[in-house]
Structures are given as structure tokens and as C-alpha cells.
Amino acid sequence: MPKFKALWVEEQTGGVFIRRIVERDSDDLPDGDVLIEVHYSSLNYKDALSAHGNRGVTRAYPHTPGIDAAGVVVASRNGAFREGDPVIVTGRDLGMNTAGGLAGMIRVPADWVVPLPDGLTLRDAMIIGTAGFTAAQSVWRLEEHGVLPGSGAVAVTGATGGVGSFAVALLAHLGYRVAAITGKRAREPWLREIGAAEVLGREEFMTDAARPLLSARWAGAVDCVGGEALSILLRSTHRRGAVTTCGMVAGPELHVSVFPFILRGVNLLGIDSAECPNPMRREVWRRLAGPWKIPSLDALATEIPLEEAIPALEAMIRGESVGRRVVRTRL
Ligand SMILES: NC(=O)c1ccc[n+]([C@@H]2O[C@H](COP(=O)([O-])OP(=O)(O)OC[C@H]3O[C@@H](n4cnc5c(N)ncnc54)[C@H](OP(=O)(O)O)[C@@H]3O)[C@@H](O)[C@H]2O)c1
């Protein structure tokens, strides 16, 4: 089997983790039904955590992170996939405790694999990746709870990040009025270019935070950061509105009274992409390739070679990421 390049994270003495590119062989990969030549991967916050030794994500090192992969089947012992099929793998255990997509090859169970839907290239699929898939699930859940394009403004926190920027672009594409909340005010022109109608700085948004209910201003919200931002969103959402929660870059704790729920009927909706059931997973991808396909996907992403994933993951852990990083993984 051909050799391939992989991002390799090792623990050194004293709990220090180092990251480098190594050459590997497919015999090194875990057992599984489908061997895939990975053409593109992408960077997600979970990869940054794995690459920096977070044991909540990855228990054992050395390890190859990468929760996303898009490529072509090389060999399959499951009849659902044949050599040459273009496929996507996102989430499940990929890149957590299974060697991940920041490599030229992966081997995974067949039920982790999704056929590449018509309407997307492998590269498009990784511009979307887990971040876009998470944003799409968030929009789906808002729709289910009656937050529709005519309902009023929808807020997105962590707006320049992967999930946040995709949510801004997707909501705008679907006709919502989007308010982007960001710690990077200087990125306002780009946020407007991808679809934000309004941009609020994080500091400005965080004022007036002490009261149990704030004046209602959002029909709904996609929260990507957790902590105090999520608490503020819940307290400032309109009666019967809904707020999705997927992330915790600002902290895992949520301090909020029951008043938004019992006085305004606000819904808090949890989003979990890694273990999304297959029927919903395939339907989300079908939408992302069809009616929900963002016309300007390229504006959301920068393409980088595998070597540049290392500094990009370091920037991500510092909260400096902007948009999506698509990673070229082939030699
Ligand atoms: N539940 C799921 O299934 C799921 C799936 C995907 C991701 N996630 C989670 O969603 C979050 C975002 O992931 P991502 O891949 O989009 O990461 P990302 O690209 O690194 O984006 C995170 C963004 O959050 C903002 N941010 C960073 N530090 C912050 C802080 N201390 N306080 C407030 N905002 C801060 C920044 O945007 P601004 O500067 O624009 O504010 C940053 O760009 C992560 O917690 C990730 O684990 C969950």
C-alpha cells in the first residue's frame, strides 16, 4: 500500500504536546470496513483541542486528529461502497480516538461513511465539513421551532469562526436577517460580504448582562461560544423564540434563571453533530448540496496544505480563526 502523510501529535515528558507531519502506511491504520484516500480535510475546534492534548477529546497519543475527511474509496468489504466512490466522513469517532482525516488515508466502519451527494465536489464538502453540518443542523432546528425568515433578526455568536461564519452565510442565503456577533470587529466587511445585515462587537453585546430578562431583540440565535454569551441570548430572545447551542469556546457553564423559559417560552436547542443519526445526517447533506447550497462557498474558506494545518490549529486554540480552513491531504 502507498505511504501517506499524516499530522502526528505526540506527548513529551511534562505534558507537552508536539505536532509534526510524518509518513505513514495504511497497515498502521485501525481495522475497518472502508479504506479511503483522503483528498481534503478541514479544521474544526475539536481538532485544535485534540492537537493540543485535550484528553476529553483524545485519550491516547500519539494520534492523528481530523474529524472531517472527503475522498475516494480505495477498498471496501461492505457492499454499500465500491472502489472509486466519492465519500464524506464527518464526526463519529473520526479524529478523536480513531486516526483522523488530517492524513492521506483513513479506515473506518461503513456506517460512518456518507456518499458524496450530487451537487458537491469533495472540496465543497470540506468547506462545509463538521462546521457547516453543525450550522445546518442548527438552522434546521430553528425552523422546526418556528423561527423562519420573516420572524425577525437571528443572532450568531462566534461569527467569524467555522460554525459561526457558515451559519451567517446559510441563514442569509435562506432569507433571514442575520446579526453577527464577533470579537473581531475589524472583520465586519467580510461578515457583511458573507451575509450579515448587522455586526455587533462582543463587548457591545455583553453589556447590560446582569438582569434576569433583557429587552427582547432576537427571533432566534445560533450560539457557537457558550458561557455568558449564551445566557445573554436566552435572556434577549423574543417570546416563543429559539436558541441553539453547540459550542463552549467561552466556557462550558451556563448561568441563567428559568425566566426566559417560563415567561417567554424560549426554547434552548442542543446540537450534537458527531452522533447525528444517519437518516438526518444524509438529509442535512442532501440539503447542503441542493436547496441550502451556498452560492459563494469559496468566500468562506482558505485552502492550505497539510503542513500549514499545524500553525492554523495553534491560531484556532487562541480564538484567532477566521472562516473555514480546507486542508489538502494528498502527497
Ligand atoms: N456540538 C457540536 O456538534 C459541535 C460541532 C462543531 C463545533 N462545535 C463547537 O462549536 C464551537 C465553535 O467551533 P468552530 O469549529 O467554529 O471553532 P472556531 O472556528 O475556532 O470558531 C470559534 C469562534 O468563537 C469565537 N471565540 C473564540 N474565543 C472566544 C471567547 N473566549 N469568547 C467568545 N467567543 C470566542 C471567535 O469568533 P469571533 O472572534 O467572531 O467572536 C472564534 O473564531 C467550539 O466550541 C466547537 O467545539 C460543536
Instruction: Tell me what pLDDT residue 331 has.
Output: 66
* Distance (Å) from CA 249 to ligand 1 centroid: 5
Instruction: Tell me what pLDDT residue 170 has.
Output: 98
The CATH number assigned to the domain holding 32 equals 3.90.180.10
Domain match, 323 and 228 both:
no
* Distance (Å) from CA 101 to ligand 1 centroid: 20
For the chain, the farthest-separated pair of C-alpha atoms sits apart, in whole angstroms, at 62
Domain match, 153 and 248 both:
yes
Q: Give a yes or no: residue 30 inside a domain.
A: yes
Domain match, 257 and 144 both:
yes
Sign, CA torsion 245/247/250/252: positive
Domain match, 246 and 217 both:
yes
Domain match, 84 and 196 both:
no
End residue of a domain, out of 255, 270, 285 = 270
Q: Which residue lies with its CA nearest to atom 9 of ligand 1?
A: 247
Domain extent at residue 110: 3-116+297-328
* Substitution candidate for ligand 1 out of 42, 44, 139 with most atoms within 8 A of CB: 44
Domain match, 35 and 81 both:
yes
Per the document, the length of the chain is 331
Domain match, 87 and 175 both:
no
Contact (Cβ atoms closer than 8 angstroms) between residue 245 and residue 226: yes
Q: Which residue lies with its CA nearest to atom 4 of ligand 1?
A: 246
Parallel/antiparallel/unpaired status of strands 34-42 and 16-25: unpaired
Instruction: Tell me what pLDDT residue 105 has.
Output: 98
SS3 6: strand
Cβ of residue 45 lying under 6 Å from some atom of ligand 1: yes
Q: Give a yes or no: residue 292 inside a domain.
A: no
- Start-to-end CA distance of the chain, whole Å, equals 14
Domain match, 152 and 52 both:
no
Cβ of residue 138 lying under 6 Å from some atom of ligand 1: no
**pLDDT in single tens digits along all 331 residues of the chain:** 679 999 999 999 888 999 999 999 999 999 999 999 999 999 999 999 999 999 999 999 999 999 999 999 999 999 999 999 999 999 999 999 999 999 999 999 999 999 999 999 999 999 999 999 999 999 999 999 999 999 999 999 999 999 999 999 999 999 999 999 999 999 999 999 999 999 999 999 987 668 999 999 999 999 999 999 999 999 999 999 999 999 999 999 999 999 999 999 999 999 999 999 999 999 999 999 999 999 999 999 999 999 999 999 999 999 999 999 999 998 6
Instruction: Tell me what pLDDT residue 208 has.
Output: 66
Domain match, 212 and 247 both:
yes
Domain match, 112 and 136 both:
no
Instruction: Tell me what pLDDT residue 302 has.
Output: 97
Q: Give a yes or no: residue 59 inside a domain.
A: yes
Instruction: Tell me what pLDDT residue 207 has.
Output: 77
DSSP 104-148: SEEEE-GGG-EEPPTT--HHHHHHHHHHHHHHHHHHHHHHHTT--
The CATH number assigned to the domain holding 254 equals 3.40.50.720
Q: Which residue lies with its CA nearest to atom 32 of ligand 1?
A: 250
Cβ of residue 205 lying under 6 Å from some atom of ligand 1: no
Q: Which residue lies with its CA nearest to atom 44 of ligand 1?
A: 247
Instruction: Tell me what pLDDT residue 2 has.
Output: 75
Domain match, 134 and 261 both:
yes
Domain match, 305 and 248 both:
no
Number of structural domains (the chain) is: 2
Q: Give a yes or no: residue 280 inside a domain.
A: no
* Distance (Å) from CA 185 to ligand 1 centroid: 16
Q: Give a yes or no: residue 277 inside a domain.
A: no
Which atom in ligand 1 lies closest to the alpha carbon of residue 270?
1
